[in-house]
Structure 1
Amino acid sequence: MSTPALVALFAIALVGLASAVIGSLGVRVARSTSDFLVASRTVGPTVNASAISGEYLSAASFLGIAGLILREGADALWYPIAFTAGYLALVLFVAAPLRRSGAYTVPDFAEDRLDSPKLRRLCAAFVLLIGWLYLLPQLQGAGLSLSTLTSLPSWIGVGGAGVIVVLTVVAGGMRSITFVQAFQYWLKLTALLVPALVVVSLFLSDSRTFDRPAPPQFPAATTVDVRTGVVLEVAAPVTFTARGDIDGRSVDGPVRWEPGRHTVLAGSDLHFAAGTAVPTTAGAPTTDRDWLLPMSGTAPDQLLEIYSILIAGILGTMGLPHVLVRFYTNPDGRAARRTTVVVLAMIGGFYLLVTLLGALSRLYVPQLLVSGQTDAAVLLIPSAALGGSWTSWLLGGLVAAGAAAAFLATSSGLVVSLAGVLFTDVLKGRFRDFRLAAVISSVIPVALALVVTRMDFSLTVPLVFAVAAATFCPLLVLGIWWRGLTATGAIAGVLVGGGLSAIAVGVSLFAVLPSGLLGVLLYRPAAATVPAAFLTMIVVSKLTRTEVPADVDRTMLRLHAPERLGLGGDRTEHRRSAR
């Protein structure tokens, strides 16, 4: 194994060890169910904001956003904008009332607000679906990081991440991972800030520019190993040598591509000379100038996709179970609101650094546009910019540590939220059942990550947000702000929004999408599914208005009245003490 690979492996192992040690601190203070589920609601705004930011900024944010910027340019900026703006919606509509509800989980809130065990069970099912669907890319990100930086098999990264997450959660639940995730946020921020400063200084001393009406160029002779089949597009004739299956025929020698699209199957090797124009994945901007310009594709369909991305990102953040459970840990609603404001600043700074590194990746690692492995841009840019020096090895190790923190932080948050639902709604037991729930929550996504081909973050993560936006966002917004919501209306809305989103997820992941409007709505379904869910809840609730809970006014007062009036109070039916 090479020196850079050993440095990266050591950094990843060190993050895993540090996470386990910090998590063990929570064992000393985790003594009740409330400690395990919501850290006894004693986490202050600054610490909680760090933990939320560490949890929210997943492998998809650390690796995927930079890859999207590298491939799509200005149009990809809508993703970090939507993911950040989601917290503005949270602070305005959900954070404080949700904390005042006194609930432990989203299903707990649903039953408390509408007194419906059926709705609670339905919400529990969607918590598991969203959590497992979101855990899959986090674990696959662990495998990608390990295989890219060390050439070890990806299954080692997947399995190792699963084990560390389970041990951290089992040790002390929410109490443990609060400390761990706060540490991991600052590690991730450092892992982006230092390489960004170094690479920017190199860029400023260089004469290269993005504003060219030409494709990006390989800075040096480059061999690209195509691991998954890809369709590439070139804007000008390109000559290179190749070995493999190119455009439906076996090739072992020189190849000349004319402008247009070309197919390369997995297992092919492409060798490009220095200065050769870089082919890009089909549908992405082919020249640097187009890459800089927004809306460079077909306007009608692309505009719909952008609106759908914004809806999914902003409203989906309001419905992610592992994000929502964090607001239950604040002492009161005011602290929950202050926490959200701090989170906005933290994740905003993070996304600025990711965007910067993604843009610079187009100059330093353009070969990823050919292989399709754009998610690896942040991992490879230090060595590409600095060459084989000790500085590049150390920066590569720091980035590897940040990537490890990214997938561990989000995975542990997801496992806690899933375990909380299994614990309160399925196992209904004591501490040992919470630990069993944590193991069950991890086993299924780990197994899927090992057997399912790794999927692009730009596909899987927005789909998760779309499901959350079409299920829990309408339930929370209407449940908090509209006294006329009924259990039947809520169930119907969740089923319609969740069902349509699930269909879109299945088709997007396992079928070839049609072109045009239908293909866009299947690929980015939130523009259709979220309005359908809201409309269904409102219409069905009005048709069943006699089912409005008799104590709705008291419940609404508890959600919105300031804590100093003494009208709130935590739910107690799930508080259990250790045996």
Structure 2
Amino acid sequence: MNPAVGVIALVLVSLATAAIGFYGLRISRTTGDFYVASRTVKPWWNASAIGGEYLSAASFLGVAGLILLSGTDALWFPVGYTAGYLMLLLFVAAPLRRSGAYTIPDFTEARLDSRAVRRVTSVVVVVVGWLYIVPQLHGAALTIRITTGLPAWVGSVAVVVVVCLTVVAGGMRSITFVQAFQFWLKLTALAVPVLFIVFTLAGDGSAAVAPAVVNPTGLAPAGPYQNISLLVALLFGTLGLPHVLVRFYTNPDGHSARRTTLIVLGLLSVFYLFPTAYGLVGRMFAPELARSGQADAVVLLLPGQLIGGTAGDLLSALVVAGAFAAFLSTTSGLVVSLAGVISQDVLGGSVRGFRLAAVVSAVVPLGFAVMTDSLALAGSVGLVFAFTASTVCPVLLLGIWWRGLTDAGAIAGMVTGGVLCGGAMVWGTVLGAAGTPFWLAQPAAWTVPAAFAVIVLVSRATKHRIPRTMSRVMTRLHTPERPLVTER
């Protein structure tokens, strides 16, 4: 691939993102605009924005790379990512919108009438957000290095700069426009090249290489435990992602939140067909990418390798643009959600505080990304899902559906899940991929039940701490449609 093509694609998508973001500045005036777009985002628009921020580096690059490496075992990732939204539809979407909260800590404080729960939830949400941003920046670094030859850190810095400009400019309302645009760019950037490749291979067999072995790496298939644990992480982890949950606060009402989730399910189902196709084509026609450690780059490299020439360069440029749209949209969604938490808990909840918090939310993970090496993108994001499933998700689900939840139980569960899952992640990093036991590499199968069990046991032991406001709050969560938390 011509390096100039990658640079041009990066510049164009960054300029388009910035232009749309600055347009949002013209109509972002109130605090509600910055935090939840004044709760006026329509279902189709919101669904596109959710697709934009949810389909991250793991979805755009990592899923195809894992399918290249592992074949059908990796199909659990797109299945889990999509099915997680079905659980959102069934258990979370409408009640969470009815809560009227700006952030997850707002919800937990209102539900449990506890500032201590709010503080612990805020810390957990910030940790989750930073853990999720780092793989996006690693993906940007990989893309820059592979396609342009520039130093890898340039990609990470470019993403942070563009995200800070767009978030600071217009907050949630601005980012909604940006992410909706980026979803459709990502879908186009994946669909057009892979369809071109498939039609070329099917039409005249003009690919530069011949079909290769079906298993290019010789990796042993994952066992039942790994598959079950991964599915638990993806299903329950989706329910606790702060940048996804904050989107439901932007819907006008609970009915709109459910419609939004249904549309998202359709959009995700269509999207994941294409990275799956890249992985399968890569297994057949570019197995050397797996053996050379470039599995995560299969989406970036296939058009140039199998098509070549000017057409290959143009298709590669489209893929690079889509990849950067993925990094930008997910990172911007995370930064908005984290800025909302930090600004309200530390900086007074003002627009100025939101803007300062947005910069902090982006710069801190940039430091970690620059100092660390990229892991397999989908695998690293899968661990973030496991951490979220072990901390935020149990409190959220039980807070919505169980009247017996107490603040002591919620805190004990989040701390237990965070320590167990975080410890497994750290220990796995120390041991390395080759030396990590399977139960540490995929910890969700035991950390998620442990978190739920601790919450229930501690809550039952502290029944006297059930808040007096519980009945009123639960009625409001399940009866349309009155805000629980007043707008600030």
- TM-score interval for Structure 1 and Structure 2 normalised by the shorter chain: over 0.9
Match of 2:298 among 368, 377, 380: 377
Match of 2:76 among 68, 75, 78: 78
2:372 pairs with 1:472: no
**What residue is the counterpart of 2:240 in the other structure?**
319
**What residue is the counterpart of 1:229 in the other structure?**
none
**What residue is the counterpart of 2:450 in the other structure?**
532
Write the deviation string for residues 206-247 of structure 1: whole angstroms up to 9, x where unpaired. 679xxxxxxxxx965xxxxxxxxxxxxxxxxxxxxxxxxxxx
1:477-492 aligned at under 5 Å gives the runs: 477-492=397-412
2:300 pairs with 1:365: no
Per the TM alignment, residue 28 of structure 1 is displaced from its structure 2 partner at its CA by 1.1
Match of 1:107 among 91, 105, 108: 105
1:396 is paired with a residue whose SS is helix
Per the TM alignment, residue 549 of structure 1 is displaced from its structure 2 partner at its CA by 1.0
Worse-superposed segment, 425-434 or 152-161:
425-434
Distance 1:432-1:11 versus aligned 2 partners, 3 A rule: same
Distance 1:143-1:124 versus aligned 2 partners, 3 A rule: same
**Contact preservation (8 Å) 1:467, 1:502:** yes
Match of 1:353 among 263, 274, 282: 274
Counterpart of 2:104, as a letter, is V
Per the TM alignment, residue 452 of structure 1 is displaced from its structure 2 partner at its CA by 0.9
Per the TM alignment, residue 365 of structure 1 is displaced from its structure 2 partner at its CA by 2.2
**Contact preservation (8 Å) 2:211, 2:284:** no
1:2-21 aligned at under 5 Å gives the runs: 4-21=2-19
Counterpart of 2:348, as a letter, is K
**What residue is the counterpart of 2:367 in the other structure?**
447
Please give the alpha-carbon distance, in whole angstroms, between the structure 2 residues aligned to 1:129 and 1:314: 20
Counterpart of 2:71, as a letter, is G
Distance 1:199-1:492 versus aligned 2 partners, 3 A rule: same
Match of 1:399 among 316, 319, 324: 319
Per the TM alignment, residue 454 of structure 1 is displaced from its structure 2 partner at its CA by 1.8
Per the TM alignment, residue 352 of structure 1 is displaced from its structure 2 partner at its CA by 0.8
Match of 1:339 among 260, 266, 285: 260
Greater C-alpha radius of gyration: 1
Per the TM alignment, residue 5 of structure 1 is displaced from its structure 2 partner at its CA by 1.8
Per the TM alignment, residue 111 of structure 1 is displaced from its structure 2 partner at its CA by 0.2
Please give the alpha-carbon distance, in whole angstroms, between the structure 2 residues aligned to 1:22 and 1:122: 35
Per the TM alignment, residue 202 of structure 1 is displaced from its structure 2 partner at its CA by 2.3
Distance 1:275-1:328 versus aligned 2 partners, 3 A rule: closer
**What residue is the counterpart of 1:506 in the other structure?**
426
Counterpart of 2:341, as a letter, is V
Runs of at least 5 residues in structure 2 that lack an aligned partner in the other structure = none
Per the TM alignment, residue 322 of structure 1 is displaced from its structure 2 partner at its CA by 0.6
Please give the alpha-carbon distance, in whole angstroms, between the structure 2 residues aligned to 1:38 and 1:570: 15
2:336 pairs with 1:416: yes
Match of 2:146 among 134, 145, 148: 148
2:272 is paired with a residue whose SS is helix
Please give the alpha-carbon distance, in whole angstroms, between the structure 2 residues aligned to 1:356 and 1:177: 30
1:104-503 aligned at under 5 Å gives the runs: 104-205=102-203, 280-281=216-217, 284=219, 296=221, 302-387=223-308, 389-503=309-423
Please give the alpha-carbon distance, in whole angstroms, between the structure 2 residues aligned to 1:139 and 1:509: 19
Worse-superposed segment, 399-408 or 451-460:
451-460
Counterpart of 2:257, as a letter, is A
Please give the alpha-carbon distance, in whole angstroms, between the structure 2 residues aligned to 1:450 and 1:206: 44
Counterpart of 1:457, as a letter, is L
Q: How many equivalent pairs are there?
A: 488
Runs of at least 5 residues in structure 1 that lack an aligned partner in the other structure = 209-217, 221-273, 286-295
Q: Which runs of 4+ in 1 moved over 3 A?
A: 205-208, 274-281, 512-515
Write the deviation string for residues 297-319 of structure 1: whole angstroms up to 9, x where unpaired. 5xxxx100000111000110000
**What residue is the counterpart of 2:62 in the other structure?**
64
Please give the alpha-carbon distance, in whole angstroms, between the structure 1 residues aligned to 2:75 and 2:245: 25
Per the TM alignment, residue 277 of structure 1 is displaced from its structure 2 partner at its CA by 7.2
1:448 is paired with a residue whose SS is helix
Counterpart of 2:298, as a letter, is A
Per the TM alignment, residue 562 of structure 1 is displaced from its structure 2 partner at its CA by 2.3
Match of 2:466 among 543, 548, 553: 548
Per the TM alignment, residue 505 of structure 1 is displaced from its structure 2 partner at its CA by 1.3
1:454 is paired with a residue whose SS is coil
Write the deviation string for residues 150-178 of structure 1: whole angstroms up to 9, x where unpaired. 11111111111110000000001101100
**Contact preservation (8 Å) 2:43, 2:257:** yes
Please give the alpha-carbon distance, in whole angstroms, between the structure 1 residues aligned to 2:93 and 2:138: 31
Per the TM alignment, residue 27 of structure 1 is displaced from its structure 2 partner at its CA by 0.7
Write the deviation string for residues 358-412 of structure 1: whole angstroms up to 9, x where unpaired. 110123322211111200000001011112x111111011001100100000000
Counterpart of 2:474, as a letter, is M
**What residue is the counterpart of 1:569 in the other structure?**
483
1:41-60 aligned at under 5 Å gives the runs: 41-60=39-58
Counterpart of 1:128, as a letter, is V
Counterpart of 2:425, as a letter, is V
**Contact preservation (8 Å) 2:421, 2:443:** yes
Q: Percent of pairs identical after alignment?
A: 54
**Contact preservation (8 Å) 1:364, 1:384:** no
Write the deviation string for residues 325-348 of structure 1: whole angstroms up to 9, x where unpaired. 111100011100100000000011
Worse-superposed segment, 78-87 or 545-554:
545-554
1:379 is paired with a residue whose SS is helix
Please give the alpha-carbon distance, in whole angstroms, between the structure 2 residues aligned to 1:327 and 1:84: 17
Per the TM alignment, residue 447 of structure 1 is displaced from its structure 2 partner at its CA by 1.1
Please give the alpha-carbon distance, in whole angstroms, between the structure 1 residues aligned to 2:211 and 2:12: 39
**Contact preservation (8 Å) 2:100, 2:249:** yes
**Contact preservation (8 Å) 2:110, 2:484:** no
**Contact preservation (8 Å) 2:208, 2:305:** no
Per the TM alignment, residue 279 of structure 1 is displaced from its structure 2 partner at its CA by 9.1
Write the deviation string for residues 22-79 of structure 1: whole angstroms up to 9, x where unpaired. 0111111111111111101100000000000000000110000000011100111011
| Greater helix fraction, Structure 1 or Structure 2 | 2
Please give the alpha-carbon distance, in whole angstroms, between the structure 1 residues aligned to 2:314 and 2:5: 7
**What residue is the counterpart of 1:558 in the other structure?**
476
2:360 is paired with a residue whose SS is helix
Write the deviation string for residues 421-443 of structure 1: whole angstroms up to 9, x where unpaired. 10011121422111110110011
**Contact preservation (8 Å) 1:486, 1:544:** yes
| Greater strand fraction, Structure 1 or Structure 2 | 1
Distance 1:79-1:206 versus aligned 2 partners, 3 A rule: farther
**Contact preservation (8 Å) 1:322, 1:414:** yes
Q: CA RMSD in A?
A: 1.9
**Contact preservation (8 Å) 1:219, 1:275:** no
Counterpart of 2:185, as a letter, is L
| TM-score relative to the length of structure 2 | 0.97
Please give the alpha-carbon distance, in whole angstroms, between the structure 2 residues aligned to 1:8 and 1:512: 32
